[in-house]
Amino acid sequence: MYVRSIWSHLGRPTTRSIALVCIADGLVGISYGAVAVHSGIQPWVVLALALLVLAGASEILFVGIVAAGGSPLTAALAGLLVNARHLPFGLAIHEVVGTGWRRVLGTHLLNDESVVFALDQDTLERKRAAFWACGLGILLCWPAGAALGAFAGTVIEDTDAFGLDVMFPAVLLALIFPALRERRTRRAALVGAVVAVAATPFLPAGIPVLLSLVGLLFGFGRKQPKQEVTV
């Protein structure tokens, strides 16, 4: 009944966008699982991370550090640093998640995608519906993709040949493209992209994304009012 209530508040465009993001998440999970197992990580560890952490960026960073010979403690601390962005996320949508058991489960489902879809809605009911639909969808698709990739990684020799890692950013770019019509948004996105690309060769995965938030400083400012033309 609760799931039916979620979908009743969402229109077709939002539902389609959420479905595409969840599917893309699952595809990236396949690539992540295959790469992780190919790097020497046990399949059960990959699945446990996907279910308990449910945060792709920190999981990929954790696996990358461990596979490169780093200690699990260092990898875990790096993952926590990447997930530090969830603190402002929680403050932004605390009313959306709800109380009681919903807050406990909603905290686990908190991620970039569910927050973005929630904040994009115009009413509290739609915000809640979008948050839960996207969060539950990723809870299903990400671990399923990671598990499939983990077991497939034992037989795939070249995990980079499939290019599944580009699917997710491609879908996100398609979703945010309409927002780039505004000059302030374009300026903030451009500055953030330049910062992230410049920092990528020198910093661990995930950190350049955090640094790209500096682009928000260039997105502030008042809109220029439209000048009325009098005849």
* Tens digits of residue pLDDT in 102-143: 888 988 999 888 988 998 888 888 898 999 999 999 999 999
Determine the pLDDT at residue 231.
Answer: 37
Contact present, 219 and 188 (Cβ < 8 Å): yes
Tell me what pLDDT residue 205 has. 57
Tokens of 119: 């904040």
State mean pLDDT over 11-33.
87
- Rounded Cα–Cα distance for residues 69 and 110 (Å): 30
Residue (of 33, 42, 62) closest to 147 by Cα position:
33
Share of the chain above pLDDT 70, in %: 77
Distance CA 126, CA 174 (A): 21
pLDDT of 97 above 70:
yes
pLDDT in tens, 143-191: 999 999 888 877 776 666 666 556 556 656 665 676 677 788 888 888 8
Domain boundaries, the chain: 2-164, 182-221
Residue bearing the bigger pLDDT, 4 or 108? 108
Mark 89-109 as b/e (b = at least 16 C-beta within 10 Å): beeebeebbeeeeeeebbeeb
Look at residue 230 in the predicted model and tell me its pLDDT: 42
Whole-number pLDDT of residue 220: 64
19-28, 64-73, 84-93, 124-133: least confident range? 64-73
Tell me if 21 sits within 8 A of 136, measured CB to CB.
Answer: no
Closest CA to 57 of 182, 192, 208: 208
Model confidence at 71, pLDDT cuts 50, 70, 90, reads confident
Task: Please state, for a pLDDT cut of 90, what percent of the chain lies above it.
Answer: 13
Q: How far apart are CA 108 and CA 127, in angstroms?
A: 17
- Which DSSP state fits 100? T
> Given this model, what pLDDT does residue 209 score?
65
Three-state SS annotation for 45-92: HHHHHHHHCCCHHHHHHHHHHHHCCCCHHHHHHHHHHHHHHHHHHHHH
